[in-house]
Chain A
């Protein structure tokens, strides 16, 4: 029973492989910086810092950022 379930899950996952089945040579657009999620830029840090100092929500995107006594 257990192995049948495992096989069914694997079959489902390989089906899932058809979502976003983009080939390596088709990734020209995805390579553009505005298409990535790399946002450790100076402006992102400034903005994150400002919002954390003026609102109660914080974080979401990274770990281990230091704190501050920001008023």
Chain B
């Protein structure tokens, strides 16, 4: 009986994508940005909020003003928000930015290697990385109700930075 349960568990595990565990080291990325490259390694020591977004993703339009607010409020305390764009055509992303501006770092990943390495389950998705480079949380979607929870997670992550 136990063997069968283990086989079942293995099958189920194999069929789902490799999601990141809390405490796992955040996968590195080195992507072109709006002005210059964005490397995760260079941001060591900061609390990094990585947001995977696209021009075709509805909730992204609501998340941008909130991320602008978070970057303004906590940037001085060590928060760096990086919006990783996954549009197949980066021009669509630039079009989006003209109507919905970002006051945080923007990186372009049209090949989708970064969301794949992070095991992203939905769009948008966000990953909070601690100053030690380890994953603190992974969150799918962006709804009204998520703002407070995400902000408190950012605050407690920053609380650990001296």
Contacts and interface: CB of A to CB of B under 8 A. Distances in A.
B98 interface: no
B64 interface: no
A14 B10 CA distance: 11
Contacts of B88: 26, 28
What is the interface residue range for chain A against chain B?
10 to 19
Contacts of A11: 11
B14 A24 contact: no
A23 B87 contact: no
Contacts, number: 45
Contact of B87 (A10, A24, A28): A28
Interface string A19-54: 000011111100110000000000000000000000
A71 B53 CA distance: 51
Interface of A: 3, 7, 10-11, 14, 17, 23-28, 31-32
Given A24-B120, A25-B116, 12 more contacts: A3-B4, A7-B4, A14-B11, A14-B15, A23-B115, A24-B115, A24-B121, A25-B112, A28-B87, A31-B56, A31-B57, A32-B56
